[in-house]
Amino acid sequence: MNNTKRVYLDNAATTNLDKEVLEEMTPFFLDKYGNPSSLHTHGKEAHTAIKEARKTIAEPIGALPEEIIFVGSATEADNMALFGVALANKERGNHIITTKIEHKAVLEPLKKLEKKGFEITYLDVDKQGFIKIDELEEKTTKKTVLVSIIHANHEVGTIQDLERIGKMCKEKKVLFHTDAAQSFTKTELDVEKFNLDLVSLNAHKMHGPKGVGALYIKKGTLIDPLIIGGGQEFKMRAGTHNVPCIVGFSKATEIGMKNMKKSVGDIGNLRDYAIEELLRIPDTRLNGPIGGKRLCNNINISFDFIEGEALLMHLDLVGVAVSTGSACSSTSLRPSHILTAMGRSATEAHGSLRITLSKHTTKQEIDYTINNIKKIVGDLRMLSPLTKVRE
Amino acid sequence: MVIEYTEKTIEHFQNPRNVGEIEDPDGKSMEGNPACGDMVSLTIKVEKDKISDIKFKSYGCASNIATASILTELAKNKSVDDAKKISWMQINNELGGLPKIKIHCSVLAVDTLKSAITDYERRNGLLKEDPDELNEKNIRQRLKSVIDPQTGADIISKNIVSNFNHNNGEISVNLKICKDYESSEVIEDEIREHLETLNDFESVNIKYSCK
């Protein structure tokens, strides 16, 4: 394993930290370690850094600094948005609308709310993973308090039309939340234009540190905090600030936004090249849309007759890190709920491979990966009893 | 999710033994289900009551391939009776231990061998009892092949099944777990998959009960 080349193509799981980001963070571990809630100079130093970070993150999404609440992860932001809005708006209604392709960080809190008497509507998606706005409109009732729809899907990269959804939510006077963990700095995100009331963000999918996220909460939104006992973050999220990570989040946002246009274009071109090459392999299909409505760094392909975990393990043995929607790789032993919601069969989900690029991915790395995939898929198909059955 | 495979499991996965299909076999079988993501097929050649050759094909995860591979090594050159005695525990031990969530792969491998031997015995009029007959013993036997991925144990030994009965091909199975138990969906699918191939099977009704 030590002599093997290593190619990291699982950037939807997490990314490497930018060196510049680390450099920005380091002083806040070593020298400027004050608690931003303290009144002395050490504290003020940290407080100023957080204030700056809030501004840096708010600005590109069209938010006000005080509308950004720092939390521990996008998962926490999702939990806060859902539980917080559900509890605070109980008197207004108990109905929440979401989709069948959300991240577990949205689905599981909603399952819990369902048990507590909330009504949840799970919207269907089409074959490419898009919701139907008409269906959303139809399902919205007087009891609907919140619509939560993932911006760019983490498995298949489908980017929803938040502008149209937001417009509808505004007309119906329903709060609108999106999980933008995958999309931030990879596609347009504008809280004004999209009429968003709540947005979950994080740093580690865009070369920032792990352990920090944010929830955008539009001014005036009725929401309860989840974590209390200290008054931090405008009494919306208690706990001593993770100052170095917040600073890192801010730097990663700055770099991400500065290079967005070029980086999205370059990564997208490499993505399209890889998709084209992979689809040359017989009996393969792309999951999700093509072009601009697909996240620039996402590839998700199903290979007939074989199972994704075996493919993933073989790729790992030649140093390539990817992910799969196969049941074998999940703790529940169920195939990806996203691929099945898109109408893929369980077998197609088992044979799926997710490859997610970053700004560091090179054509050489893609070629190395594709060559290995071709060989491994061939070997596994030789081994598979299904290959013969279907011939 | 991190899956910890032993070196031996990885070695068998990378270099599977006895891959393929024997032409004109004395017994063959295919078990598992593509919808569940794992399938194994076996072909065997029997000479003088001994398994002289065995070959497998596999659709499934790394441990599915590794368990089938090591099974063929263990079964080769064994007498038919001894081959029948190979247990999933033995496969598991040979590989140095599988993660709990992967134990079902070793069960599938062993069940596939058993059904290849049954096929051989059926072809040669050696079958004493039909394992596909719908009766209490065979239902129990099949439920013993259903593994709870949370514990890595079968649902009979772990007392997850409180009781079962059958009437005119309709089987009911009562489980001592809650419907929202983490692996209830998998257990339910596996029960169905194992019972529906019994002769005269009509339906299975699975009930949950928990405190």
Q: Is A306 on the interface with B (CB under 8 A)?
A: yes
Q: Is A347 on the interface with B (CB under 8 A)?
A: yes
* Chain B residues contacting A via beta carbons under 8 Å: 1, 3, 5, 10, 13-14, 16, 19, 21, 30, 34-41, 57-62, 64-65, 101, 149, 182-183, 185-186
Would you call B3 helix, strand, or coil by DSSP?
A: coil
Q: CB under 8 Å to B46, separation ≥6 — which residues?
A: B26, B27, B52, B80, B120
Give the position of tokens 């930290």: A17
Question: Considering only CB atoms, which chain A residues are within 8 Å of B57?
Answer: 383-385, 388
Pick the CATH number of A19-258 from 3.40.640.10, 3.40.50.2300, 3.40.50.720, 3.20.20.70: 3.40.640.10
What does the pLDDT look like over B17-26, one tens digit per residue? 999 999 999 9
User: Sorting pLDDT into bands at 50, 70 and 90, what band is A388?
Assistant: low
H/E stretch holding B138 reads helix B136-143
What does the pLDDT look like over B143-153, one tens digit per residue? 999 999 889 99
Handedness of CA B24, B25, B28, B30 (dihedral sign): negative
User: Sorting pLDDT into bands at 50, 70 and 90, what band is B37?
Assistant: confident
Q: Which CATH class is domain A260-390?
A: alpha beta
Q: Where in chain A are the domains?
A: 19-258, 260-390
Q: Are A147 and A97 in contact (CB under 8 A)?
A: yes
Task: Using a pLDDT cut of 70, give the percent of chain A over it.
Answer: 98
**DSSP structure class, residue B91:** H
Which of A324, A383, A388, A389 should we substitute to test contact with B (largest number of B Cβ atoms within 10 Å)? Answer: A383
| CATH fourth-level superfamily of B136-208 | Fe-S cluster assembly (FSCA) (3.30.300.130)
The mean per-residue pLDDT over the stretch A240-256 comes to: 98
ipTM of the complex: 0.91
Q: Where in chain B are the domains?
A: 7-123, 136-208
Torsion angle in degrees (nearest 10) through CA of B135, B140, B146, B147: 180
Q: CB under 8 Å to A252, separation ≥6 — which residues?
A: A18, A21, A185, A203, A206, A207, A208, A209
The mean per-residue pLDDT over the stretch A191-195 comes to: 98
3-state helix, strand and coil shares in percent for chain B, rounded to the nearest 5 = 40, 25, 35
Whether A384 and B183 lie within 8 Å, measured CB to CB: no
Please determine whether the domains at B7-123 and B136-208 fall in the same fold group of CATH.
Answer: no
Torsion angle in degrees (nearest 10) through CA of A140, A142, A146, A151: 20
What does the pLDDT look like over B79-130, one tens digit per residue? 999 999 999 999 999 999 999 989 999 999 999 999 999 999 999 999 999 9
Q: CB under 8 Å to B48, separation ≥6 — which residues?
A: none
Q: CB under 8 Å to A170, separation ≥6 — which residues?
A: A176, A195
User: Sorting pLDDT into bands at 50, 70 and 90, what band is A1?
Assistant: very low
A328 is catalytic: yes
Closest chain B CA to residue A381: B59
Position B3 pLDDT exceeds 90: no
H/E stretch holding B107 reads helix B103-123
Position A391 pLDDT exceeds 60: no
Lowest mean pLDDT among A52-61, A237-246, A320-329, B192-201: A320-329
What does the pLDDT look like over A92-116, one tens digit per residue? 999 999 999 999 999 999 999 999 9
Position A203 pLDDT exceeds 80: yes
Q: What CATH topology corresponds to B7-123? A: Sufe protein. Chain: A (3.90.1010)
The tally of CA atoms less than 13 A away on the side-chain side of residue A354 is 24
